[in-house]
A and B are shown apart, each in its own frame.
Chain A
Amino acid sequence: MITTLRIAFRNTRRQRKRSFLLSGAIAFGIVVITLVNAFTAGMIENIKANFVYLFGGHVFITGTELSPSGRVISLIGDDALVKEALALVEGSYSHVNRRSQTVVEFIFGSKTNTFTLEGVDWESETQLPTRLQVLAGSLDNLQDPQALVLPEQAADKLGVVVGETVLARLETVSGQLNIGEFQVVAIVKDQTNFGISSSYGSIVYLNELLGLPPDGYQTLQVFLRDINTMDQVSDILYEHFANHAEVNRRLNLNFEARTEDEREDYVREQREAIAALLGGYTELEEPWQGTKFAVTTLNDIMSPVVSMIDVLSMVALVVFIILLIITMVGITNTFRMILIERTQEIGTMRAFGMQRGGVRNIFLLEAVIIGLMGVAAGFVAAGVIMLVLSSVTFTEVSVLQFFLKNGHFTFKIALSDILTNIAILLIMTLIAAWMPARAAAKLPPAEALRAAY
């Protein structure tokens, strides 16, 4: 076997250019598939991280209640049940935020600008102030109910500076118009790269403006310690709510395998689920008592994005296989040429007592060595490309930001993907070299020795 290996290895160095080209073709395939795999995996991670930032949390609990007039309002009034539910998943989450939010038209002089106002309980949300990057003013005086933290972009549009008062026009949960007054205490850097920035005010004051009870809130944002427990935690929470109160159906954006009839119901259910999540008004079907809960996770929201990326990965795999087939044709052809070139050599080895299997193995091993060299070169090249790409900052291209981590591409390589690709490649290489190898093994020694090349 060592002799076979030695001959096979040295054979690859006989026509270095030829071996180099073959390995190069294989390396190219590896580069393509590795980059796509690592890029899509990294992209999913980044999108998730960006979503956490954007939506604030991994699991969201929202609620709807019926007002005395029969109107559906977005509110969680039953905090006791929420606390009970959270007790069941104690330890799985790092912290929770209780928030109310609404879209507000801010007015300053003759200028107006509309954006989201988040009602924050500054006493319990101690993390938020540490995350905000203050550009002007300070976050020391947040206890003032009318204190307002504005993102830079909004402040610029309104032309407002710290210490000035702005008016806020909004709609109460019962649909009436209301006006509030806020004092700008700080201007902060935009939190996200997506151009969706929120302003922050006191939840108590916002609830007052919205017509909600002072201790009520609309969304509970749960931040998990381990992102992988998302479905598990949400299931526990959902089950608890379902057992003790009314619940909305879970959001499920997978549109697969549904019949025409099912789809109609499904679309309606999902519309309700989304409306509940976004704090909108759902159509009244049957009246209920207390809070009707909805539990949504980042995975639920992400699933269409993930399936889109899965499609991208599949396309990459198809491209990889097509590349491989082209390479295989090249390998088969090359080994046929090698067979002709080395016919007399094969005859000699057979004459000295090498069995057919030995001759075949020399060919197959040579193919495997070329394949492995290609794999190694491919991984090195892919590594270099990833290193270069991840060191470039893409802050200017805002469309990309959603897929990036702080403006950088990130790549994540799963060992299983690497091993699968190596296995696919080696098997394909062996298949490609099999026919010429078999032909070499079957050459009658006398005929092989007569060959003059």
Chain B
Amino acid sequence: MSLYQSPIAIVATKREIPMPIVSLQDVKKTYPLGKTEVQAVKGVTFDIHKGDFICIVGPSGSGKSTILNMIGCIDVPTSGSVLISGKNTKELNDKQLTKLRHEVLGFIFQSFNLIPVLNVYENIEFPLLLGKPTQTKAQRHAWIMDLINAVGLGDWAHHKPNELSGGQRQRVAIARALATKPQIVLADEPTANLDSKTGEAIIELMKKMNAELDTTFVFSTHDFKIMSIADHVIKLQDGLVIENTRNTAQTETEGMS
């Protein structure tokens, strides 16, 4: 499978679409820390287009997770705006944000975060059972089995998460993130809890899904080896973007202040 060629082609096509799927404009985020405040993100601006396979890199505390949380609508910026499919997240209430997450976003976490009481099949099914059903039962079953087979866990459908290895758990998490056919999948350091070989395999699987389903992937890492697989890299340091690079040899550096 040519993991590198097709996504690039997609990115190249999609980049011509003027409307970005995610747009961050001068985003700042401040957290209270005891009696003081910590500014985790100090004014970040960048766009993500449909079908992108983006890697956000930077050391611990550089603001990667905070930015991913704000794109993921599980946090809102202190100032500036985050637009998801043209909607300003700051203007939405909790219920609307939750609905937006369900409809537009998928998540992959560093520590997998599978629901321990549900088996592989049920974990993947979980997001599909929230909100109004859009498929028949049979369609849903077929789609979940497709996902399970796509991540290579066909024989593990009825196993509980604690019976799986770390790599297998993250595969379940990927399938779950894709269950609702989201436009964007966010992965916060998806390889941090895996050995480097498994980590690479996971990133490759994500890339494969990105190519096959045309789903936008945004993941964070501080592993430079993995970073090279991405076709768009945003480097962060101290809450600012220090580099915004496309692996298509086209490089742009955005202003930092």
Contact partner, B131, options A2, A350, A353, A356, Cβ 8 Å: A353
User: Is B74 in contact with A354, judged by CB distance below 8 angstroms?
Assistant: no
Interface residues of A in 155-181 (CB under 8 A from B): none
B243 interface hit (Cβ, 8 Å): no
CB neighbours (8 Å) of A355 from chain B are 95, 98, 130
Interface of B is mostly: mixed
Are B115 and A348 neighbours in the complex by a CB distance under 8 Å? yes
Least CB distance, B90 to chain A, in whole angstroms: 14
> Which B residues, 80 to 123, have Cβ-Cβ distances below 8 Å to chain A?
94-95, 98-99, 101-103, 105-107, 109, 111, 113, 115-118, 122
Min Cβ gap B179→A in Å is 9
Whether A14 lies near B74 (C-beta < 8 A) is: no
> Across the interface, do B115 and A350 meet the contact criterion of CB distance under 8 Å?
no
Taking a contact as CB atoms under 8 Å apart, the answer to whether A352 and B75 are in contact is no
Q: From B95, B98, B111, name the one whose CB has the most chain A CB atoms within 10 angstroms.
A: B98
User: A10 touching B74 by the CB < 8 A rule?
Assistant: no
- Give the number of chain B interface residues (Cβ < 8 Å): 29
A445 surroundings in chain B (CB, below 8 A): 74-75
Q: Known: A14-B116, A350-B98, A449-B109. Is A358-B72 also a contact (CB below 8 A)?
A: no
B115 A351 Cβ-Cβ under 8 A:
no
Nearest B residue to A349, CB-CB: B115
Does B129 sit within 8 A of A, measured CB to CB? yes
Report the minimal beta-carbon distance from B182 to chain A, rounded to whole angstroms: 10
Report B93 CB to chain A, min CB distance, Å.
11
Interface centre among A351, A446, A449 (most CB of B within 10 A): A351
List of B residues within 8 angstroms of A356 by Cβ: 94-95, 98
Residue of B nearest to A445 (CB): B74
Interface size on A, residues (CB 8 A): 25
A425 to chain B, nearest CB (A): 25
A349 to B98, CA, bound (A): 10
Q: With the chains together, A333 CA to B197 CA distance in Å? A: 44
Residues of B near A446 (CB, < 8 A) are 69, 74-75
B4 cross-chain contacts in A, Cβ below 8 A:
none
List, in ascending order, chain B residues with CB within 8 A of A354's CB.
Answer: 98, 130
Chain A's closest residue to B122 (CB) is A6
| 21 A-B interface contacts by CB (under 8 A) | A3-B126, A11-B117, A14-B116, A344-B111, A344-B113, A345-B116, A348-B107, A348-B113, A349-B115, A352-B101, A352-B107, A352-B126, A352-B130, A353-B99, A353-B101, A353-B102, A355-B95, A355-B130, A445-B75, A446-B69, A449-B69
Please name the 5 residue pairs, one residue from A and one from B, whose CB atoms are nearest each other, closest first.
A353-B102, A10-B117, A446-B75, A445-B74, A348-B113
Sample of 5 more A-B contacts, CB < 8 Å, known A6-B122, A11-B117: A347-B74, A352-B102, A353-B131, A356-B94, A446-B75
